[in-house]
Amino acid sequence: MSTSEFPGWHGTTIIGVKKGGEVVIAGDGQVSLGQTVIKGTARKVRRLSPGGYDVVAGFAGSTADAFTLLERLETKLEATPGQLARASVDLAKDWRTDKYLQKLEAMLIVTDGDDLFVITGAGDVLEPEHDVTAIGSGGNYALAAARGMMDSDRNAEQVARDAMAIASDICVYTNGNLTVETIRK
C-alpha cells in the first residue's frame, strides 16, 4: 500500500494557556487511524526536567517523530540550561536544515512557565499573541474557545480544560481524556 493510499494518523489537540502567573499545556488522548479510534488514552503532554529545569511540552503529529523532537529539545535544554528560547531556536534550526529531521511530521508547544512557544518543522519558533496557542486537528476550535475565555475569571487551567471540552465536542479526532501539566511562577 503506498503512502497516498494509507489513511493516515489523525488526532490530537494541544493547547497552551498563560494566565495569572501560570502556564498550562493540555492535550487530549485520542489517536485515530482513518475513521477508527486506535487509542483514547495517549499522553501527548510531557514534563521534561533537564538538569532540574522544568519544561512542559505537548506534541501533535506522528508520535515517533514527536519523541525524536522531544529528545532533541531535552539535549538542547541540557546544553543551554534555563534558556528555553535559545534551545527552541536551536531545535528549529536543526529541524529545518537536517535532512533526517526535515522529514519529521510533528509540532510542539513548549513552556518553562515564563515563555510559551510553538515550534514547527518550517524553522519557526512562534510566541503566541493573547497568551494562548493551540495545535493539532482541533487546535483552531480550542484556540478560538480559549481566546473567548481569556478575559473571564477562569484561571489558566480552567480556560484550557473548557476550551478542550469545546474542541472535543466539535473535532472528531479529539476526545475529552486530558493530560494537563501546569507550571506556576
Residue 151 CB partners (closer than 8 Å, separation 6+): none
Average pLDDT over residues 104-117: 92
Nearest to 28 by CA among 49, 46, 42: 42
Question: ∠ at Cα 34 (73, 137), nearest 5°?
Answer: 50
Active site residues: 12
Work out the mean pLDDT of the chain and round it to a whole number: 89
Query: Taking the model in full, what pTM does it have?
Result: 0.91
Indicate the residue type of 33: L
Separation of alpha carbons 45 and 63, rounded Å: 11
What is the sign of the dihedral through the CA atoms of 69, 71, 76 and 81? positive
On whether the CB atoms of residues 78 and 53 are closer than 8 A, the answer is no
Mean pLDDT, range 99-116, rounded to an integer? 87
Task: Identify the pLDDT of residue 3.
Answer: 42
Residue 12 has pLDDT above 90, yes or no: no
Domain annotation for the chain: domains and CATH numbers = 9-174 (3.60.20.10)
The mean pLDDT of 125-150, rounded to a whole number, is 96
Distance between CA atoms of 145 and 135, rounded to whole angstroms? 13
Judged against a pLDDT cut of 90, whether residue 35 lies above it is answered with no
